[in-house]
């Protein structure tokens, strides 16, 4: 239902990808703050992720992330690099 209308689909998709990016970074060992970067009146893409390396990687959100990407049919660009043991 949320993906039925173009403008709503665009906004839901943007929030979904920002959420997945934040979860991936948390699993990579970062403390993540999600904040408004530019007032919504000036830009619809106004989310900034502020991250500080704070710990060791975990897979706390891994299954939720896979489920979201599968359900909504997208692949997050950060997913493969952050989940490749050769890169960690």
Query: What does the pLDDT read at residue 87?
Result: 47
Query: What does the pLDDT read at residue 31?
Result: 95
- State yes or no: pLDDT of 47 exceeds 60: yes
The predicted-structure confidence for 67-88, as pLDDT tens digits, reads as follows 988 888 888 888 877 765 544 4
Q: Which among 14, 20, 69 is positioned nearest to 44, based on CA atoms?
A: 14
Q: ∠ at Cα 56 (22, 83), nearest 5°?
A: 60
> What pTM was computed for the model?
0.79
Residue 1, domain member (yes or no): no
40 band by pLDDT with thresholds 50, 70 and 90: low
Q: Which among 18, 28, 32 is positioned nearest to 68, based on CA atoms?
A: 18
Q: What secondary structure does DSSP assign to 12-47, as a single string?
A: HHHHHHHHHHHHHHHHTTEEEEEEE-S-TTT-S--E
Residue 88, domain member (yes or no): no
Decide: 87 and 68 in contact? Cβ < 8 Å: no
Q: Which domain covers residue 46, as residue numbers?
A: 6-79
Residue 86, domain member (yes or no): no
Residue 37, domain member (yes or no): yes
């Amino acid at each position: 239902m949320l993906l039925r209308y173009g403008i709503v689909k665009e906004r839901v998709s943007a929030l979904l990808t920002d959420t997945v990016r934040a979860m991936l970074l948390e699993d990579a060992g970062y403390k993540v703050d999600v904040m408004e970067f530019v007032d919504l009146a000036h830009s619809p893409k106004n989310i900034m992720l502020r991250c500080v390396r704070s710990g060791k990687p975990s897979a706390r959100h891994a299954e939720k992330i896979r489920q979201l990407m599968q359900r909504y049919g997208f692949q997050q660009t950060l997913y493969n690099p952050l989940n490749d043991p050769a890169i960690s």
